[in-house]
């Protein structure tokens, strides 16, 4: 089976700094894979290159075997990649359902249509997606008055609107309460199982990572230093060096959480 996402020798320089250096990996269909690492390790840079927000200095990104390196975000989305952001980006002036409908309108290429009423278009599909993330009871509320955890779930529903084969989630649980984190990751796991989507996510909360990921990659100073199952990564000497060697990092993470 070919990989959904294949990254080969990805490099990104900012001036003299090598933010991401020769990173290669693959994401298999139906896999829930985590990308972890301390602050400044290059996780977000990596993500931004996968999604087209940032052009790599070198290296290639393949989606289902197709080279998508350097394509704009909206084209990559059309090829079946959904994304959620570290800081949520939702449409404040729309209702919850309309936020999802907007993505469905885009998916069905009706963006420039001036005839139908948008708030009735694809409403049923939008409600189904909201059902998936447990937001259907809030479908007609204004997005501007939602709680933060609900915004995160809404964003997930939006990301699912074009039935993606790959979901990229940048720190999906950042800023959430512990209970909400567990719920959201459980939800993500369910989606992976039910829909056969692959998920690649970055995360700071190690409990979340070790509890839910099928496969973990550790990034440090722009380079992949280890990967494997939760147990393997936990046992890896270099990972321990990065996270425990300084003696503060895990503690800092815990304090942060």
Name residues whose C-beta falls within 8 Å of residue 113's C-beta, 6 or more positions apart in sequence: none
Which of 21, 45, 132, 162 contacts other proteins by CB under 8 A?
162
CA dist., res. 104 & res. 161, Å (int): 6
Q: Name the nearest CA neighbour of 143 among 204, 94, 106, 201.
A: 94
CA dist., res. 82 & res. 208, Å (int): 21
Residue 145 binds other proteins, judged by CB under 8 A: yes
Across 112-132, b (16+ Cβ under 10 Å) vs e yields: eeeeeeeeebbbebbbebbeb
Which of 10, 34, 35, 105 contacts other proteins by CB under 8 A?
105
CA dist., res. 149 & res. 128, Å (int): 19
Nearest approach, Cβ of residue 144 and other proteins (Å): 4
Return the residues of window 32-71 that contact other proteins according to CB under 8 A.
51
Residue 141 binds other proteins, judged by CB under 8 A: yes
Which of 9, 24, 67, 119 contacts other proteins by CB under 8 A?
119
Q: Name the nearest CA neighbour of 4 among 250, 204, 196, 239.
A: 196
Residue 123 binds other proteins, judged by CB under 8 A: no
Q: Give strand pairing partners of 201.
A: 34, 169
CA dist., res. 134 & res. 54, Å (int): 33
Which of 107, 195, 214, 221 contacts other proteins by CB under 8 A?
107
Nearest approach, Cβ of residue 157 and other proteins (Å): 12
Nearest approach, Cβ of residue 106 and other proteins (Å): 4
CB atoms under 10 Å from CB of 145, counted, come to: 10
Residue 117 binds other proteins, judged by CB under 8 A: yes
Which of 45, 69, 95, 188 contacts other proteins by CB under 8 A?
95
Residue 230 binds other proteins, judged by CB under 8 A: no
> Which residue, 62 or 91, has its beta carbon nearer to other proteins?
91
Contact residues for other proteins (CB under 8 A)? 51, 72-74, 77-78, 83, 85, 89-95, 98, 101-103, 105-107, 110-119, 121, 140-145, 158, 161-162
């Amino acid at each position: 089976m070919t990989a959904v996402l294949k990254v080969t020798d990805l490099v990104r320089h900012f001036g003299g700094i090598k933010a991401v250096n020769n990173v290669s990996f693959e994401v298999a269909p139906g896999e829930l894979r985590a990308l972890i690492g301390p602050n400044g390790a290059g996780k977000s840079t990596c993500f931004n290159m996968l999604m087209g927000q940032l052009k790599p200095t070198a290296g290639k990104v393949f989606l289902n075997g197709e080279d998508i390196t350097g394509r704009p975000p909206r084209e990559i989305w059309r090829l079946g990649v959904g994304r959620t952001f570290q800081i949520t980006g939702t449409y404040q002036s729309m209702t919850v359902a309309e936020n999802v409908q907007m993505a469905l309108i885009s998916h069905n290429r009706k963006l420039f249509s001036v005839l139908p009423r948008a708030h009735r278009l694809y409403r049923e599909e939008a409600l189904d997606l909201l059902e998936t993330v447990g937001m259907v009871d809030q479908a007609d509320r204004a997005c501007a008055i939602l709680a933060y955890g609900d915004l995160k779930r809404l964003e997930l529903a939006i990301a699912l609107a074009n039935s993606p084969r790959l979901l990229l989630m940048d720190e999906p649980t950042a800023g959430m309460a512990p209970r909400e984190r567990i719920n959201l990751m459980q939800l993500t796991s369910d989606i992976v199982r039910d829909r056969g989507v692959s998920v690649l996510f970055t995360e700071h909360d190690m409990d979340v990572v070790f509890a839910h990921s099928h496969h973990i990659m550790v990034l440090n100073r722009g380079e992949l230093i280890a990967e494997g199952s939760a147990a393997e990564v936990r046992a890896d000497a270099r990972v321990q060096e990065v996270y425990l060697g300084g003696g503060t990092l895990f503690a800092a993470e815990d304090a942060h959480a």
